[in-house]
Amino acid sequence: MAWHDMREWMAEVEAQGELRVVEGASWQEDIGNITEMLDHTTDSPCVVFDQIPGYPAGLRVIVNCNGSRRRQAITLGMPPEEATHEALFERWQDILNDFRPISPEMVSSGPILENTLKGANIDLEKFPAPMWHPKDGGRFIGTASVNIMRDPDTNWVNLGTYRNQILQRDKLGVWISPGKHGRMIRERYFERGEKCPIVVIVGSDPLIFWSACVEGIRYGVSELDWVGGVQGRPVPVIKGPVTGLPIPATAEIAIEGFMTRDDMHIEGPYGEWTGYYASGTPTVPVVQIEAIHHRSDPVILGCPQGKPPHEDNQFLAYIKSALIKQQIEAAGVSGVTGVWCPPEGGNRLLVIVSLKQRYPGHAKQVAHIASQCGAAAYNGRYVIVVDDDINIYDINDVLWAVLTRSDPVDDIEFIRRAWSSPLDPVVPHGAIPFNSRAIIDATIPWERRETFPESIVKVDKARAVREQWGHILQ
């Protein structure tokens, strides 16, 4: 890859004409409103906010980094002109099929240590964290954050993206959904009566952020190792002066501190990934900050959640789809020709699988695995399995299969008491976060493969016509 940190990535994106600088936008309303507009506009640019009122020039916020395929290609080291839907999916399949983790490289120093705030100098509001949504409970400096923790039993270092609200000048909120790795690690410290060390990065390069929000990386594999494997070189890290945790040496802002069971604070509400203020105002353990390290003129990486599709839905669609396909095949099931997690479903609520049927029950087997494998189990809702003549990337084609090849009584099954979250708007406030899953078998019934009515449109013919006559559509 041609870039090594956020700033080199920004230079690459700017050289491709994909970056805009906006000056004078307020942190109170403008940045959040503009970001929502960008999220819901196809191929909108990456935007850097500078000269934010009330802050010195150079303290910046960057948003919509990977909201377009061209910028996703830059992040993956691909030529932007090759950033087609098919090429991105194939790139992730190639990465995962021959994946080898590479451990981070410990270095003695790095740009992250250019400035350090301690004691009375610690003040989170020195940074221009926005109000992302009108009814948020405060300023969330961490929406594309990387929360770093180490398992006390195994020394496994985990990176997770959890929302981080500014609660006081030296206290930071960390809301973690039940079942997430970071919550498990935190509880292990609390069960021992120990404080939990944590580093919160609120300005990392885009690939490190990707690693922290991908669901499905195997438990016990560090996301730092995963990033190394994806980019083909180790991530340089320093040893956190306060916590001893590894901190990416080229990060923009790193917050070091500790969580304890006794230091609790009301957090939220926050406009979450389903498009609702769904989680209320929970009381959560907070980070008591002991040091803030930052580069000169630091950049806050923002990726606020909201009504799908938003930025992280655009890039996670490819990673999650490739992971689910890999995990179905790892379960010993063949015949899967494609998987797609549409951005419109927030990459969780809908999984579509294309299958070349090979035996009776094949479709149901695939559907159940696709619903509960590691990359798909959290907060899922619907799984649809279709035949391999259906274009899973065209929701019209998928709905046609559902409406003409499935029978509601025979072909829809339910999984009850599955892994959900308080962020799910269907889960009543205060209830244990279970939900159900619907599995829809929209394949031609196995026993009717020879007698099912022939479809009018043939995939190969449609492709040939488009190649010959597609210029009419230009």
Residues 290 and 345 reside in one and the same domain: no
Q: Which range is least confidently modeled, 18-32, 173-187, 419-433?
A: 419-433
Residues 346 and 220 reside in one and the same domain: no
Residue 227 belongs to domain with CATH number: 2.30.110.10
Residues 364 and 274 reside in one and the same domain: no
Residues 283 and 412 reside in one and the same domain: no
pLDDT at residue number 25? 98
Residues 377-393, mean pLDDT to the nearest whole number: 95
Q: Residue 19, by phi and psi: left (phi above 0), alpha (psi -120 to 50) or beta?
A: beta
Residues 295 and 362 reside in one and the same domain: no
Residues 200 and 273 reside in one and the same domain: yes
In a domain, 136, yes or no: yes
In a domain, 35, yes or no: yes
Report yes or no: 37 and 87 within 8 Å, Cβ to Cβ. no
How are strands ordered across the β-sheet holding 299-302?
Answer: 19-23, 46-50, 60-63, 299-302
Tell me which residue of 219, 302, 218 sits closest to 253, measured CA to CA: 302
Residues 404-413, mean pLDDT to the nearest whole number: 96
Tens of pLDDT, residue by residue over 461-471, are: 888 998 899 99
- Angle at which helix 311-330 crosses helix 85-97, to 10 degrees, equals 50
pLDDT at 374 over 80: yes
pLDDT at residue number 220? 87
Tally of CB atoms within 10 A around 390:
25
**302, 335, 357: which is the final residue of a domain?**
302
pLDDT at residue number 121? 97
**302, 320, 355: which is the final residue of a domain?**
302
In a domain, 39, yes or no: yes
Tens of pLDDT, residue by residue over 312-368, are: 999 999 999 999 999 999 999 999 999 999 999 998 999 999 999 999 999 999 999
In a domain, 368, yes or no: yes
pLDDT at residue number 161? 95
pLDDT at 216 over 90: no
Residues 225-242, mean pLDDT to the nearest whole number: 96
Tell me which residue of 126, 127, 128 sits closest to 28, measured CA to CA: 128
In a domain, 219, yes or no: yes
In total, how many domains does the chain have?
2
pLDDT at residue number 217? 85
pLDDT at residue number 118? 97
203 band by pLDDT with thresholds 50, 70 and 90: very high
Tokens of 50: 């500078």
In a domain, 1, yes or no: no
**278, 302, 326: which is the final residue of a domain?**
302
Report yes or no: 197 and 65 within 8 Å, Cβ to Cβ. no
219 band by pLDDT with thresholds 50, 70 and 90: confident
pLDDT at residue number 323? 94
pLDDT at residue number 39? 95
pLDDT at residue number 215? 86
Residue 2 or residue 129, greater confidence: 129
Residue type, 256: E
pLDDT at residue number 97? 87
279 band by pLDDT with thresholds 50, 70 and 90: confident
Residues 192 and 320 reside in one and the same domain: no
Tens of pLDDT, residue by residue over 46-64, are: 999 999 999 999 999 999 9
Q: Half-sphere exposure of 249 toward its Cβ, with a 13 Å CA cutoff?
A: 14
pLDDT at 1 over 80: no
Residue 344 belongs to domain with CATH number: 3.40.1670.10
Report yes or no: 63 and 41 within 8 Å, Cβ to Cβ. no
pLDDT at 306 over 90: yes
Domain with 389 in it:
311-473
pTM over the 0.75 mark: yes
Residues 346 and 451 reside in one and the same domain: yes
Residues 297 and 345 reside in one and the same domain: no
Report long-range pairs for 309-312 (Cβ below 8 Å, ≥24 apart).
309/39, 309/40, 309/342, 309/343, 309/344, 309/346, 310/39, 310/40, 310/273, 311/38, 311/39, 311/63, 311/64, 311/65, 311/66, 311/67, 312/66, 312/144, 312/213, 312/273, 312/347
Distance set, CA 61 to CA 31, 32, 314 (Å): 9, 11, 20
Burial of 65 (0-12, 13-18, 19+ CB in 10 A): buried
Residues 415 and 457 reside in one and the same domain: yes
In a domain, 131, yes or no: yes
Residues 254 and 343 reside in one and the same domain: no
In a domain, 29, yes or no: yes
Residues 9-29, mean pLDDT to the nearest whole number: 97
Share of the chain above pLDDT 70, in %: 100
Report yes or no: 364 and 443 within 8 Å, Cβ to Cβ. no
pLDDT at 263 over 90: yes
Residues 413 and 264 reside in one and the same domain: no
DSSP structural state of residue 417: E
